[in-house]
Amino acid sequence: MSPEAPVLDKKHFESDQQVRWCPGCGDYAILSSMTKAFAEIGVPREKIAIVSGIGCAARFPYYVNTYGFHTIHGRAPAIATGLKVARPDLHVWVVGGDGDILSIGGNHFLHALRRNVTLKILCFDNRIYGLTKGQTSPTSEYGKVTKTTPMGSLDRPVNPISLAIAAEATFVARTADKWNDHFRQVILAAAAHEGSAFVQILQNCVVFNEDSWEPVVGREERDEHALYLEHGKPLRFGRDREKGIRLDGSEPEVVTVGEGGVTEADLVVHDEKDEALAYLLSRLDLPRFPMPVGIFRRVEGFVPLEKGIARQREEAMKKKGKGDVMKLIHSGETWTVNG
Amino acid sequence: MTTKQLEHLDRVVIRFAGDSGDGMQITGQQFTNTAALLGNDLATFPDYPAEIRAPAGTLPGVSGFQVHFASDDIYTPGDAPDVLVAMNPAALKVNLKDLPKSGILILDTDEFSKRNLKMAGYETNPIEDGSLAGYRLFAVPLTSRTETALASFENLTVKEKRRCKNFYALGMTYWLFSRSMDATIEGLKERFKKKPQYAEANTVAMKAGYAYCDASEEFQVRYEVPPAPTKPGTYRNISGNEALAIGLVAAAGRAGVPLFYGSYPITPASDILQYLAGYKNFDVTTFQAEDEIAAVGSAIGASFGGAIGVTGSSGPGIALKGEAIGLAVMVELPLVIVNVQRAGPSTGMPTKTEQADLLQAVCGRNGESPLVVLASSTPSNCFHMAFEAVRIATKYMVPVILLSDGYLANGAEPWLLPEHIEELADVRISFHTDPKDFKPYRRDAATLARAWVKPGTPGLEHRIGGLEKQDQTGNVSYDAANHQKMVQLRQEKVQRVVADVPDLKVYGPDRGKLLVIGWGSTFGAIHSAVRLAQADGLKVAQAHLHHLNPFPANLAELLGRYDRVLCPEMNTGQLRMLLRARYLVDVQGLNKIEGQPFRVREVLTRIQEMA
């Protein structure tokens, strides 16, 4: 950073608009952590663009003093792709809820990830439709009773992490709204990643789905139920980190270190570059397993879309020279009629 | 050898028809290039099936290419062919109904096998049963003659040799119309640079076809169509889709702003994406999106970033883009939406033409969602209208829908090329950078356009979106009076585009009995019919709209100067409905919804009834 660059703080990124989420909504914590993170990332605010779809989460850009675009339901990744390709110099973030990103926007989510366009896609996942007042969402549990599923939802939920990995995402992570420090680490890592980054944020909807993630996120149970992923470290969890994940063939199992001859050496060691492991970990869930959180997958070295496009353009310029409109008009077989 | 007669003709229409795999499009294009180089005025119309390769010999597999060339001005590919080249019974079956008696008919007798006749639905062989009496029939074993001509080509398989039969037929038509084969020979060399044996084989086949006619007793008369007295200048033959792509590039180049084209493949618009993908060195980015919605979305994102965002599709794709186009209306960003219309509804007839998306363009979004609608009238006019679409979209910060159609997209005509860049209108784009008193929705007093700000500009950070905007600040507002004001402002802004719409001119008397008004690709047929009617002394005039929203300022007054108004359209009367609603004029319709363009005589007959 150049010496004259101003030191950025959280306030610098707060807009003058009144925040209109329900009191107690997890989005407040996310907003606070994000403005802090932006200050820490250090990119000047005019270089940041936040693109969102529709839903409670999608109001996010109004509250951050950067460039922002609150678009239409589900389409934020597509619109952000156009923006990033046209303006590779910008830092483009996409914000949406589980309905926005995974239901109506599922197609765009899949393709933004496989194209590896440098977007940071944040999915505020509260497992419910909030802005429309409480209908089942694509991440709602099977059997969930909501206003539209009075006898229980018959749809099996989508697993956003598995889906992202299957879609060739080069950065896939999970964190939670109120985990300030964990959230910060995941967001900073996502920001530093070249290529598409997907972050599922376990978020609490205080009105329509209160405490849905509490067994994983809450202070009481998180040590037992959250498995913190760290690259190069064995998979351990539990109040005293006494438990771990071991593979029996390709089947994961929960073991206790020190019991039945199990040592730390028997545990799976996390490797962010191992795609098969990332997928396997994405399948772990309560009640049989703890829920893994942190960075599932992070691989570098794939050319992001915006760079590939810029390169091809430069290559064409080099090969054909900068385009001359009159020459283009006069190309092909022409003939002249004399006066 | 007998001396052959030479006859002069003013105009000729040839239709090449065969199986999808017979190379009829290439044959027709080669004939077209030669006619263009000879200085004929011309117009072409390819008619091909939606199936890539329907089973050989079947009726759905028939592909055709019609070229109309003349020694004076022409505006359509011709109502009916004078010459029909039919490469198999199916091609004969599909096309014979269009050939007038006394027309020239060239058939490949080798293809009239029992099996092929049956597939085409012939009980008996029409070559033998007398049903072709009256036509000037040339029944020639094209396939076997081609094979014989290529006997010495040991490096070609029999199948490859047979495939050259279309060039044998082309050679025959070159002889028949006294054309030089040179341009085609050169073209073949260029096309088969890497496989010179193909270039040579096709050349030999073509020359054999030519020589056959020269030597045969059957062919006693050959024809000559002299060059048309055209305006001096440089010309090229151009299709609507290529002209449209070049028009977009030219406007962006004139503005010095990058062009972004987000699209999803769809017939008949895909060519535009393909052409633009080849123009990367013009600072053009093409993006083949995952679907129609992402295509328009990416273009809106690019516009937000300060590029000229364009998306293109056909009717079904435009339907999918509707919500996003509404977003562009709301956030007041420039966006060009190209609709190369095809026959609908739903999937309809993808390769057939229609102009039934006018009301979709003008009205097809939720809420009060006005935007600018333009339409091109001829293949080369697609260049000018694409250029205008970009100019208006960026000047007024407004989405513009440009309507083309399958007939314009694939049809071609000579285009008199501009010689200097200065002949093209200015496209002035300035991005706002001054943070002093900046308000995202402050408007230019004349155009009502809001400022275009590129993200990355310090001090101008702001948020836009699809929720209703407060006037000036652009903040979210649900205020009742503000909503009414904003709806009216967006409407008024589109209305002000009229300042950039030239007054509508008439061709013919400036008042009188009948005005024929049209829009889009019906121009050629209407113009030809009106000229014929005028030559017969009828007091009829033509006006053709390129601006459908807003309409030209003088339209109301103009409509009032004629006793009656006729509006031919390839739909059930969409422009007619708009004109009636807007101007309370009792416009009469002539409506053809066959997936085929108007024939001149169809329009002429209606004019004669009304004038």
pLDDT digits over B389-438, tens only?
A: 999 999 999 999 999 999 999 998 999 999 999 999 999 999 999 999 99
The phi, psi pair for A183, rounded to 5°, reads: -55, -50
Confidence at residue A4, expressed as pLDDT on a 0 to 100 scale: 58
Question: Which site among B463, B476, B477 would you substitute to test the A interface, given the most A Cβ atoms closer than 10 Å to its Cβ?
Answer: B463
Mean pLDDT of A1-22: 81
Q: Could you give the percent of chain A with pLDDT greater than 90? A: 95
d(CA B250, CA B252): 6
For chain A, the average pLDDT equals 96
Q: Is A69 on the interface with B (CB under 8 A)?
A: yes
Asked if B5 reaches chain A (Cβ–Cβ under 8 Å), the answer is: no
Most confident of A16-20, A282-286, B20-24: A282-286
- The predicted structure's pLDDT at residue B51: 75
Mutate to test the interface with A, among B304, B427, B454 (most CBs of A within 10 A): B304
Each residue of A163-200: pLDDT tens digit? Answer: 999 999 999 999 999 999 999 999 999 999 999 999 99
| Interface contact B281-A108, CB threshold 8 A | no
Query: Does A311 contact chain B (CB < 8 Å)?
Result: no
Name the pairing type of β-strands B547-549 and B372-375.
Answer: antiparallel
pLDDT digits (tens, 9 = 90+) for B424-479: 999 999 999 999 999 999 999 999 999 999 999 999 999 999 999 999 999 999 99
Angle between helix axes B142-149 and B165-176 (nearest 10 degrees) is: 100
Of A192-206, A322-336, B27-41, which has the strongest mean pLDDT?
A192-206
CB spacing of B455 vs A86 below 8 angstroms? no
B304/A contact by beta carbon, under 8 A:
yes
pLDDT value for B230: 81
For A49, phi then psi, to 5°, come to -130, 130
Chains A–B, number of C-beta pairs less than 8 Å apart: 214
| % chain B with pLDDT above 90 | 93
List Cβ neighbours of B114 (8 Å cut-off, separation of 6 or more): none
In this structure, the number of other CB atoms found within 10 A of the CB of residue B386 comes to: 30
Put simply, the answer to whether B39 touches A46 (Cβ < 8 Å) is: no
Going by their DSSP bridges, the two strands B412-416 and B506-507 should be labelled as unpaired
Pick from B230, B262, B280: which is nearest to A312 by CB? B280
Contact B4, B21 (CB under 8 A): no
* pLDDT value for B472: 97
**For A107, nearest residue in chain B (alpha carbons):** B290
For residue B517, the one-letter residue type is I
Cβ atoms of residues B268 and B351 within 8 Å: yes
Percent of chain A exceeding pLDDT 70 equals 98
The pLDDT value recorded for residue A5 is 59
Measured between alpha carbons, how far is B549 from B370 in angstroms, rounded to an integer? 9
Residue range A20-29: mean pLDDT, rounded: 96
CB-based contact B232 A339, cutoff 8 Å:
yes
* Residue B65 pLDDT > 60: yes
Adjacent-strand bridge partners of A200: A123, A174
- Taking a contact as any Cβ pair under 8 Å apart, which residues of chain B between 248 and 277 contact chain A? 249-250, 253-254, 258, 260, 262
Q: What is the pLDDT of residue B1?
A: 45
Q: Check whether A3 has a pLDDT greater than 70.
A: no
Report the pLDDT value the prediction gives residue A1, as an integer from 0 to 100: 43
* Angstrom distance (rounded) from CA B64 to CA B62: 7
Closest residue in A to B457 (Cα–Cα): A46
Strands in B171-258 per DSSP E:
221-224, 233-239
pLDDT tens column, B273-319:
999 999 999 999 999 999 999 999 999 999 999 999 999 999 999 99
Give per-residue pLDDT as tens, B522-569. 999 999 999 999 999 999 999 999 999 999 999 999 999 999 999 999
- Measure the CA–CA gap between B112 and B118, rounded to whole angstroms: 10
Residue to substitute from B280, B333, B426, B469, interface A, most A β-carbons within 10 A:
B280
Alpha-carbon torsion angle A94, A96, A102, A108, nearest 10: -30
Residues 6+ apart with CB under 8 A from B167: B27, B146, B184, B202, B203, B205, B206, B209
| Mutation for testing the A interface, residue in B279, B461, B469, B477 having most A CBs under 10 Å | B461
Q: Average pLDDT, stretch A87-116?
A: 98
Task: Describe the crossing of helices A76-86 and B292-304 by its angle, rounded to 10 degrees.
Answer: 50
List, for residues B90-125, the tens digit of each pLDDT value.
Answer: 999 999 999 999 999 999 999 999 999 999 999 999
Cβ–Cβ below 8 Å for B306 and A86: yes
Q: Does B451 touch chain A (CB under 8 A)?
A: no
Across residues B367-385, what is the average pLDDT? Answer: 98
Please, are residues B497 and B396 in contact by the beta-carbon 8 Å criterion?
Answer: yes
Instruction: Please report the pLDDT score of residue B559 as a whole number.
Output: 98
What tokens does A230 get? 């760290």
Residue located via tokens 């397993």:
A289
What is the chain B residue with the closest CA to A62?
B463
CB-CB neighbors (< 8 A) of B298 in chain A: 78-79, 81-82, 85
pTM for the whole thing? Answer: 0.93
Q: Report the pLDDT averaged over residues B260-281.
A: 98
- Check if A226 contacts B (Cβ < 8 Å): no
Name the residue among B123, B126, B124, B67 with its Cα closest to residue B91.
B126
- The predicted pLDDT at position B55 comes to 86
User: B58 with B119: CB under 8 angstroms?
Assistant: yes
Q: Which of residues 46-65 of A touch B (CB under 8 A)?
A: 46-47, 49, 51, 54, 61-62, 65
pLDDT for the residue A6: 64
